[in-house]
Structure 1
Amino acid sequence: MKLLVLCVIIVANVSYNGKASLESFMPTANVLLADTTKNSDKSCQRPCKFNVKPRRCVYDFDIEPAIQENDIPAIMINGMTPGPPIHVCLNDVVIVKVKNKVPDQDLAMHWHGVEQKGTPYMDGVPMVTQCPVSYGSTYEYAFIASTPGTFFYHSNSVAHQSDGVYGSIIVDQPQPLEPHVSLYDYDRGEENTLMIAAKFPSLLTGIIEDLSQVLPTSLAINGNEDRSKLFVIPGYAYRLRLINAAAIECPLLLNVDRHDMMVIATDGKPVKPVSTRHVLLYPGERMDVVVRADQEAGGYWVRVHGRDKCSGLSASAMLLYSGFNYTAMLDEEPKKTKNNLEPGAASIIYGQKLQYLRDSTNAAENVKSVYLGIDRNTVKFKDSDNDYRYLSDALPTKPFYPAELSTSNGVIQINGKNFLYPNTPMLLKPMDVKPDSICKVGEEEKHKQTQCVQVLKVEDKGEYELALVNEGFGSNDSYTFHLHGYSAEVIATWQNPNNLPISREDFHKLDKEGKIIRNERNAPLKDTFTVPNKGFTIIRIQPDRGGTWLLECRSCGLSSLPVAVIINVPLAIPKLVVDSLPKCGNYKPADVLLN
């Protein structure tokens, strides 16, 4: 009976405009979600204990434009950016009621790194897992915090996220289960969480020109361009949670003056501890580090320096020992010291360099390989090639060439195609997706359109090895990818030392000659990873949970058509669930409408 109740609860996700609400699925006697702790504290942020039933953690998010204290507009959640922190215990039920108050804008909320076990329709990808949340409506997300670690949430739109729609998610577990609990004395959750984001001079949401030419003007830590503060007691060690909340290609280099950092987790997964002075986080990455207050009592700078699109930008926070009067630091600029000058590449730790905490004892068998060639391409066409008439589905059409293809820089593509959002949510109504809009990964050349719903259909059990190859013929950029629904083993990352492009044939030749070294023993588990220019990153997944999971280049979103593929793992969703979810009506994404 309890299992039945749980299944009913986690499938409930309904707009106020829908046919039902979460409460309508709840049993009269809410036994399963009753909190049996004797503590009077009923908040979801609490010490996590064994043998205690999970809590029902409800959050109301009102998302609307607002003016910040510095007179710069932003899109805020409940008047805040970052938005309210979500801090819960393992197996808590998280319910977030998202109300869209952004005029003339649709949105969806993605829970970055949350694997959505049993709730793939809560992943927050419009026209893939749900209908968009239209202006004035409310959408109710509900999922179980099934994995401990550091995560964050953000709008699925890169522009909305850059304008301020993001916030932290921390999932704690009983302390004895923490693999590195002996390395630190304090884990203060949101007090010791640093969310770093790129700030723009105006709302990206309101710009209709080429967004690729709009660059950030500053970095902010926890929404502040002034000084965030971390208070420590001498002699004690603290767990810090670092989140790169930038949506653009903005790697961040971070260090703490005169203090070592012990890296203990990446993207919410534990790793073998590594000591370093500098860590590098790519967009969407999270890293947990331990800092021990073992220096002379005083105040020390936490320094963040941007790279790539954020080159030249910096931000700082204060690490303050108890009893130190930090007022003198407020008016001074952080000065460079010997230990925070630009370090050598070999001394910088980033997620793909790390090793998973436990070594694998099972050799991979039945591995299926998939090649994903990434490059910036220029599509040749003439105006006369485009058919600008509005044509019905019954009439034959010419290939449609979106305006973005006419830019001199070209567009970033996977296997020569750009992603097209389906005409209806593929997860909920797969049979209603137009068959001629779908192209199978590996057979894209059969599709005449520049955009298609690129689908990797999982048809057999076993592991899938995805080779993301940044060919580098059309650009010198690196790209950061995010995988929804799963953590992947990052088994290889390589960059051509000769700075020469790499083709499909080059990659397969390297592989055939045994020159690609795969870490099959203790590869880090990550949901966010970078693909270096003129190089590759190879990941492995075992797609055993049904759903339509996006593998996307979010950081490509401001300078290109969508760059993504859907990993489609067969799943039959009960009609009761589909019928309970909000309907799209006659909504169509702009690119689908034009196609």
Structure 2
Amino acid sequence: MKLLVCCLMIIVNISNNGKASIESFTPTSSGILFEDTTKNSDQSCHRPCKFNVKPRRCYYSFVIEPTIQESGRPAISINGMSPGPAINVCVNDVIVVEVKNKIPDQDETIHWHGVEQRGTPHMDGVPMVTQCPIAYGATYKYAFIASSPGTFFYHSDSVSHQSDGVYGSLIVNQPQPLEPHSSLYGYDRSTENTLLIAAVFPQLLTGNLEDASGMQPNAMTINGDEGNFKIFVMQGFAYRLRLINAIAVECPVLVRIERHEMVVIATDGRSVKPAAARTVLIYPGERMDVVVRASQETGGYWVRARGTGVCAGLVADAMLIYSGFNYTSMLHQGQNELAQDSDWSAVSGQMLESLQDVAEGPDPKTVYLGIDKNVVNFKENDVDFRYISDAIPKKPFYPASLALKESGVVQINGKSFLYPNSPMLLYPRDVKADFTCKVGEEAKNQEPQCVLTMEPEGEMLELALVNEGFGSNDSYTFHMHGLSAQIVATWQSPDGKPISREEFEKLMEDQKVVRNIRNPPVKDTFVVPNKGYTIVRIRADQAGSWLLECRACALSSLPTAVLINVPQKMPKSIIKSLAKCGNYRPPDVLLN
């Protein structure tokens, strides 16, 4: 009888482990996240994850500053490294990162890409939305729960800082029996088998006053190395590799392994139905977990990342080394087989299917988001260059980017995004009403820039992101903060013609838009193809102010984003504990 009771208790603990741990660790006061829950003498957070073990407090200290790397290239580094320190924790651990900004005359924030921030929306790392920026010489402490397992990464919210080196991996592991595809591989070495793919520019983008759109990356790296990173395997065993595209500009990357097939098992930290692939396509900010079996003869094989888009022509290589093989011969032989292979047809994250079917419900109302590069016309005498106070009547403000970008700027529904004058999440009443505009009511605001916002009418929100393609031939990658998106449809015009709002609505009316509402992939990063659309469904079940942004669009232009506000009331104790903005205002707000 005692044995039976013991077995039942173990089963209950296993089946309820995730939920119970999360609920018991949800912050109830502003200080609980900083309490040390580690009682074991072993303080390491990178450890085998086990059942019925208290979560740990994982502390990291980041100093972000300009450095010169061993290669002689200047970079913005974290603790002297780029990529920055790898974060490896177990699900439900508390991650605490103290960030000190030592970049002269530059503000900083860190975004935890793909992390849900359940209960901690103020830790999402978006300046003037979820926090005040970290000024030069200041320190800011992030603290949040690793509530979901998966492959994530962190980076500066600034596209320039990220491109110059402020990024790193963030892996959240869980007990192996909970991994849906653990039977497919024998080894999951998240430190040795995580590949962070990045692009390198010929000069620092940080602080560069020139138009950065003309600057093209001149190299790509894997874990900071252009060709010497090594993955060691034993013949006959299967390994889980975690691939991360940490590039901030529009640079999709094709990855393949010489003479080896891959099996895709997860995208953006979410498990999917296994899909065999010889090549995978990973967009900026996307992550993809693949299984590779060391099934070939003992030897060395090349892993190649090939850039497309603005990275066309660039490659970065790593080595897959079988145990006992002397890999020095690979350096002399080169990558002949990979170089000669012209078939790079690939599997992308939006082609995959979710592991679990989605529960059916009523179809939500579709919200149209038209994306295109627009030229904003204005006369020279329309420009008012004065610093303007509220007491002085003003003309509409036209930022310098509009005058410098003769080819236009990427906008959503004809508007560029304006960062609020006060953090929207923390002090919503302080955000000036004439700075904002709502999706669907953009015409009420005459400015080319506004804080473009929307509030979901129900729990499920459907967004139709339509890349109209009248002003450009570019595809755009979007990232959804805090909330996960079901990718229910992706389509591109077969005849290469632009698509207008009226044409899209006609397709909807004629029921020619085909949706996968049964098992769509659940992602936080997705692409909207040129002259096509991507339809996403977002379950707005987490309170916060969440940015849906095209990061690459903002490198040399104005921000392209929508702020999705899920109603919440931040506790006063939390607001009081956070750093204040003082008299800080973003430059575009100052000039507005």
TM range (shorter): over 0.9
What SS does the aligned partner of 1:452 have? strand
Name the CA distance, whole Å, in 2 between partners of 1:12 and 1:67: 38
Does residue 168 of structure 2 align to residue 167 of structure 1?
A: yes
Distance of aligned partners of 1:296 and 1:571 in 2 relative to their CA distance in 1, 3 Å threshold: same
Does residue 543 of structure 2 align to residue 542 of structure 1?
A: no
**Post-superposition offset of 1:220:** 0.3
Distance of aligned partners of 1:5 and 1:257 in 2 relative to their CA distance in 1, 3 Å threshold: closer
CA deviations over 1:17-39 (Å, ceiling 9, x no partner): xxxxx75xx4xxx5xx2345xxx
**Contact 1:197–1:219 at 8 Å: present in 2 too?**
yes
**Contact 2:245–2:287 at 8 Å: present in 1 too?**
yes
| Other-structure match for 1:322 | 323
What SS does the aligned partner of 1:508 have? helix
**Contact 2:27–2:119 at 8 Å: present in 1 too?**
no
**Post-superposition offset of 1:366:** 5.1
Distance of aligned partners of 1:390 and 1:164 in 2 relative to their CA distance in 1, 3 Å threshold: same
Does residue 470 of structure 2 align to residue 469 of structure 1?
A: no
**Contact 1:461–1:544 at 8 Å: present in 2 too?**
no
| Other-structure match for 1:416 | 414
**Contact 1:106–1:133 at 8 Å: present in 2 too?**
yes
Question: Which is further off, 193-202 or 556-565?
Answer: 556-565
**Contact 1:196–1:245 at 8 Å: present in 2 too?**
yes
**Post-superposition offset of 1:390:** 2.3
**Contact 2:29–2:573 at 8 Å: present in 1 too?**
no
**Post-superposition offset of 1:337:** 4.3
| Other-structure match for 1:353 | 351
Q: Which amino acid aligns with 1:185?
A: G
**Post-superposition offset of 1:341:** 2.5
**Post-superposition offset of 1:5:** 8.8
Name the CA distance, whole Å, in 1 between partners of 2:425 and 2:321: 49
| Other-structure match for 1:445 | 443
1:158-307 matched pairs, under 5 angstroms: 158-307=159-308
| Other-structure match for 2:4 | none
1:422-433 matched pairs, under 5 angstroms: 422-433=420-431
CA deviations over 1:531-565 (Å, ceiling 9, x no partner): 00000000001101110000000011213200001
**Contact 2:22–2:92 at 8 Å: present in 1 too?**
no
| Other-structure match for 2:144 | 143
| Other-structure match for 2:13 | none
What SS does the aligned partner of 2:192 have? helix
**TM-score, normalising length: structure 1:** 0.94
| Other-structure match for 2:53 | 52
Does residue 505 of structure 2 align to residue 504 of structure 1?
A: no
**Post-superposition offset of 1:10:** 7.3
**Contact 2:50–2:174 at 8 Å: present in 1 too?**
yes
Name the CA distance, whole Å, in 2 between partners of 1:543 and 1:138: 32
Name the CA distance, whole Å, in 1 between partners of 2:43 and 2:333: 42
Does residue 568 of structure 2 align to residue 564 of structure 1?
A: no
**Contact 2:388–2:591 at 8 Å: present in 1 too?**
no
**Post-superposition offset of 1:4:** 10
Name the CA distance, whole Å, in 1 between partners of 2:339 and 2:229: 23
Name the CA distance, whole Å, in 2 between partners of 1:215 and 1:310: 7
CA deviations over 1:302-355 (Å, ceiling 9, x no partner): 0111001000101110001000000111344322348842324xxx10000000
**Post-superposition offset of 1:408:** 1.4
| Other-structure match for 2:14 | none
Name the CA distance, whole Å, in 2 between partners of 1:35 and 1:213: 54
| Other-structure match for 2:105 | 104
**Post-superposition offset of 1:225:** 1.4
| Other-structure match for 1:17 | none
**Contact 1:365–1:462 at 8 Å: present in 2 too?**
no
Name the CA distance, whole Å, in 2 between partners of 1:334 and 1:557: 36
**Post-superposition offset of 1:469:** 0.3
Q: Which runs of 5+ in 1 are unaligned?
A: 14-21
**Post-superposition offset of 1:206:** 2.8
Q: Which runs of 5+ in 2 are unaligned?
A: 1-20
Match of 1:34 among 23, 28, 38: 38
Name the CA distance, whole Å, in 2 between partners of 1:270 and 1:11: 33
Distance of aligned partners of 1:9 and 1:88 in 2 relative to their CA distance in 1, 3 Å threshold: farther
What SS does the aligned partner of 2:589 have? helix
Name the CA distance, whole Å, in 2 between partners of 1:326 and 1:10: 54
Q: Which amino acid aligns with 2:559?
A: P
Distance of aligned partners of 1:577 and 1:5 in 2 relative to their CA distance in 1, 3 Å threshold: farther
Name the CA distance, whole Å, in 2 between partners of 1:339 and 1:149: 35
Stretches of 4+ moved more than 6 A in 1? 2-5
Distance of aligned partners of 1:3 and 1:109 in 2 relative to their CA distance in 1, 3 Å threshold: closer
**TM-score, normalising length: structure 2:** 0.94
**Post-superposition offset of 1:474:** 0.2
Name the CA distance, whole Å, in 2 between partners of 1:231 and 1:95: 31
| Other-structure match for 2:434 | 436
**Contact 1:481–1:554 at 8 Å: present in 2 too?**
yes
**Contact 1:366–1:462 at 8 Å: present in 2 too?**
no
CA deviations over 1:411-439 (Å, ceiling 9, x no partner): 00000000000000000000000011010
**Post-superposition offset of 1:6:** 4.3
Distance of aligned partners of 1:93 and 1:275 in 2 relative to their CA distance in 1, 3 Å threshold: same
What SS does the aligned partner of 1:515 have? coil
Distance of aligned partners of 1:288 and 1:426 in 2 relative to their CA distance in 1, 3 Å threshold: same
What SS does the aligned partner of 2:367 have? strand
What SS does the aligned partner of 1:461 have? coil
Name the CA distance, whole Å, in 1 between partners of 2:22 and 2:304: 48
Name the CA distance, whole Å, in 2 between partners of 1:359 and 1:476: 35
Name the CA distance, whole Å, in 1 between partners of 2:465 and 2:179: 33
What SS does the aligned partner of 1:265 have? strand
Match of 1:492 among 477, 489, 492: 489
Question: Which is further off, 393-402 or 333-342?
Answer: 333-342
**Contact 2:387–2:590 at 8 Å: present in 1 too?**
no
| Other-structure match for 2:400 | 403
Name the CA distance, whole Å, in 2 between partners of 1:109 and 1:185: 34
**Contact 2:255–2:280 at 8 Å: present in 1 too?**
yes
**Post-superposition offset of 1:400:** 0.6
| Other-structure match for 2:511 | 514
**Contact 2:466–2:532 at 8 Å: present in 1 too?**
yes
Question: Which is further off, 384-393 or 329-338?
Answer: 329-338
Name the CA distance, whole Å, in 1 between partners of 2:342 and 2:475: 24
**Contact 2:484–2:539 at 8 Å: present in 1 too?**
no
| Other-structure match for 1:367 | 364
Q: Which amino acid aligns with 2:312?
A: S
**Contact 2:65–2:102 at 8 Å: present in 1 too?**
yes
| Other-structure match for 2:384 | 387
Distance of aligned partners of 1:339 and 1:263 in 2 relative to their CA distance in 1, 3 Å threshold: farther
**Post-superposition offset of 1:368:** 2.3
**Post-superposition offset of 1:164:** 0.1
Q: Which amino acid aligns with 1:446?
A: K
Name the CA distance, whole Å, in 2 between partners of 1:109 and 1:160: 10
**Contact 1:35–1:54 at 8 Å: present in 2 too?**
no
Name the CA distance, whole Å, in 1 between partners of 2:69 and 2:23: 46
Name the CA distance, whole Å, in 2 between partners of 1:471 and 1:369: 17
**Post-superposition offset of 1:396:** 2.4
| Other-structure match for 1:18 | none
Distance of aligned partners of 1:217 and 1:9 in 2 relative to their CA distance in 1, 3 Å threshold: farther
Name the CA distance, whole Å, in 1 between partners of 2:399 and 2:407: 14
What SS does the aligned partner of 1:83 have? coil
**Post-superposition offset of 1:382:** 1.3
| Other-structure match for 1:585 | 582
**Contact 1:244–1:282 at 8 Å: present in 2 too?**
yes
**Contact 1:113–1:527 at 8 Å: present in 2 too?**
yes
Name the CA distance, whole Å, in 2 between partners of 1:261 and 1:410: 41
